[in-house]
Amino acid sequence: MPFGRYFRQTTSGGAALAALLAFLVIGSIASSASGAAASGQAEMIERLLPAVVRITTHALSGDPKNPTEQEAFGSGFIVDTAGYIVTNAHVVKGAYEIIVTLNDGTIRHAKLVGEGGDVDLALIKIDAHHPLHALKFGDSGESKIGDEVFAIGNPYGIGTSVTRGIVSAVNRDLSRSVFDSYIQTDAAINHGNSGGPLVNGGGEVIGVNTAYYKGAAEKGGSIGLGFAIPSAVSKTVVDLIRQFGYPKVGWLGIDGQTLAPEMAAALGLEHVTGAILVAVRKDGPSHGGLEPDDIVLQIDGEKALDMRMLQRAAADAIGRPLQLNILRRGKERNVVVTPTERPGAAATPRTLASTKPAEDRSLFGLTLSELPQKRREELGMLNQNAGVIVAAVAPISAAAEAGLSNGDVIESIQLRPVRSRDDAAKAVESLRVERRDFALLRVRSRDQVRFLSLHLIWEGPHEASLAHSPK
C-alpha cells in the first residue's frame, strides 16, 4: 500500500509499527477523554438551566405627562426553591413591571424584595406554586486565574445562552463601590447577560455577571472583558436583603484611600501596604480612636492590602470590635474601633419605581368599535360577520406593548369570532374563569392576517393585565 511504503521509507521496521500503534492508542485515549469531558460539561449545564431565568422589564421615561415606555431584558437565577431570584439592580431599576420567564417557558410577575445599595444586586421573588430548581453559591475565593467558567444568561433578549471561558483576573476594582472585587472573564458577556450566573466547572455559582467592556467607539458586543460580582460578596448581600430588606452593613465613619506604592515610597515605607485616612467623621464610631493621616497596617491581625479591605471588614462587623494596627506620626499603635450600622441604609418600602397608568384591563387597554361597512369592504370581509375595529389604544397599555394599533381588526379571540365589544369582554371573562395563561387573537392589519399569542397575568379575581411574550 502506498501509505505503508512511505512509512517504511521514513522509519525502520518494528519500531515504526510500534510508534504508529502508540500514536493511534494515545490519540484514541485523548479523543475519548475529550469526548467524556464535553459530555460531562453538557450534562452539568443541562442541570443548571432550569434555575436560570430570563427577565423582561417595562419602565416609563421622558415627560411625566406624556411618557414613553421602555422594554429591557436581563437575566437572573433562582437561589431558593420558594422562588427567590438574584439579578442586578440595574436590570430592574425604574421598572413598574418585572416579568420572569422560566426555562420551561412559564411566565410570572416578580416582586422586588430589595436592592444591594452600593452593590449592583437585587433580589426579586415569584410565586410559582411549586418548588423550583435552585443554584448554589460556591466559594469565589477558591477561583484561580485560568479556571474554566461558564456564563449563562439572556443576551439581547434572544433567549438563554451559555458561553465558556476562563477566569482572566480576580479582585478587579472598577471604582464602582468599596466592595469592588470583580472576577474578570473572557466568557462572552453581552447586554442582557446582566444578572446571570458565572459558574465554575463544578456547577457552583462563583459570580453574578454584571458588566463588560464594549468594542471600539462604544459599539459592538463582548470583546472578552466581562466582570462578575464574586459569590463572596453577592451571597452576603443577598442574605442581608432577604433578612432585612436592604444591605445592613457596618460603617466606620472614615474616608480614605489605598496607600499606593509611590505614597509609601515618599514616606520611606517601601513594601508597606494599607489604607491612609483622609478624614474621620465626628459623628462616626471611629471618632476618638482614629485620626486623619493614620495608616492602617493590619485588621484583626491580618495585613491590610487596601482601603477596600478595611471597608469590607467594617461592613461585616456591626457591633463587633475591630483590632487595628496603625501607623501614626511614625509610630505603630493598636486601636480598637466598633463599626455601627451605615446611616441611610435603613429599610424603606421596596416597591416598583413607577406606577403604570390605569387602563381598561378587561379589554387590554383597547377601545373597540363596530366595523364600518366601508372598512369591511376595503378589507374584503363582506362575507364575514365577525370583526371589531380598534378605535384607540391606550399609549401605556398591554395592548400597545403587544403591537396592536388603531385600525387593526380583531377577528377572533381563542378562535371564537368576535362581533362586538361585548363578545370581546365575554371572551376575556371566560379566560379569567378558566385561569388561562395565554390568549390567542386573530388580528387583521390592512391586508395581513396574523395571530398574536398574549400572556395573561391575573392580578385579582376580576382583573387581568396583558403582556406579550418576550421574544
Residue range 177-205, pLDDT digits in tens = 777 889 999 999 988 999 999 999 999 99
What pLDDT is attached to residue 456?
Answer: 67
Q: Does 243 share its domain with 277?
A: no
What is the pLDDT confidence band of residue 34, given thresholds at 50, 70 and 90?
low
Domain identity same for 53 and 166: yes
CB atoms within 10 A of CB 145: 11
- Residues 6 or more apart whose Cβ sits within 8 Å of residue 135: 48, 51, 52, 77, 78, 79, 197, 199, 203, 204, 205
Same domain, 27 and 125: no
3-state secondary structure of 62: coil
Taking the alpha carbons at both ends of the chain, their separation in whole angstroms is 58
Q: How far apart are CA 194 and CA 212, in angstroms?
A: 9
Q: Are residues 10 and 80 in the same domain?
A: no
Q: pLDDT value at position 351?
A: 56
Assess whether 222 and 315 both reside in one domain. no
pLDDT greater at residue 292 or residue 61: 292
Looking only at Cα atoms, what is the longest distance across the chain?
Answer: 98
Residue 110 predicted with pLDDT over 50: yes
Cell output for 215: 468594542
C-alpha to C-alpha distance for 437 and 109, rounded to whole angstroms: 12
Is the pLDDT assigned to residue 310 strictly greater than 70? yes
Q: Which of 194, 234, 286, 412 is catalytic?
A: 194
Give the DSSP H/E element, type plus range, for residue 398. helix 398-402
Whether residues 317 and 262 share a domain: the answer is yes
Judgement on whether residues 43 and 33 belong to the same structural domain of the protein: no
Give the number of domains in the chain: 4
- CATH classification of the domain holding 112: 2.40.10.120
- Residue burial 181-205, b: 16+ Cβ < 10 Å; e: rest: bbbbbbbbbbbbbbbbbbbbeebbb
Q: Which of 80, 90, 177, 420 is catalytic?
A: 90
Cα separation, 273 vs 215, in Å, equals 35
CATH number reported for the structural domain that contains residue 401 in this entry: 2.30.42.10
Question: What's the pLDDT score for residue 355?
Answer: 52
Question: Of 115, 120, 71, 140, which Cα lies nearest the Cα of 356?
Answer: 71
- 328 plus 393 within the same structural domain: no
Round to whole Å and give the CA distance between 441 and 368: 14
Its domain, for residue 300, covers 250-341
Please say whether the beta carbons of 320 and 314 come within 8 A: no
Same domain, 207 and 278: no
The active-site residue out of 118, 120, 294, 408 is: 120
The one-letter amino acid code at 312 reads: R
For the stretch 380-406, pLDDT in tens is: 776 777 888 888 877 656 677 777 888
SS3 content of the chain, % helix, strand, coil (to 5): 25, 35, 40
Out of 325, 356, 387, pick the residue that ends a domain. 356
DSSP, collapsed to helix, strand or coil, labels residue 25 as helix
More confident residue, 46 or 367: 46
Tens digits of residue pLDDT in 202-236:
999 999 999 888 754 455 667 889 999 999 999 99
Domain co-membership, 101 together with 232: yes
| 178 and 87 in a common domain | yes
pLDDT of residue 470: 33
Label residue 14 by pLDDT band (50, 70, 90).
low
Under DSSP, the state recorded for 470 is P
120 is known as an active-site residue = yes
**What percent of the chain shows pLDDT beyond 70?**
80
Is residue 177 annotated as part of the catalytic site, yes or no? no
Q: Looking at residue 53, what is its pLDDT? A: 96
pLDDT of 239 above 80: yes
Q: Which of 15-29, 72-86, 98-112, 312-326 is predicted least confidently?
A: 15-29
Task: Considering only residues 56 and 219, tell me which one the structure prediction assigns the higher pLDDT.
Answer: 56
Q: Is the pLDDT of residue 6 over 70?
A: no
| One domain, residues 232 and 133 | yes
pLDDT of residue 294: 95
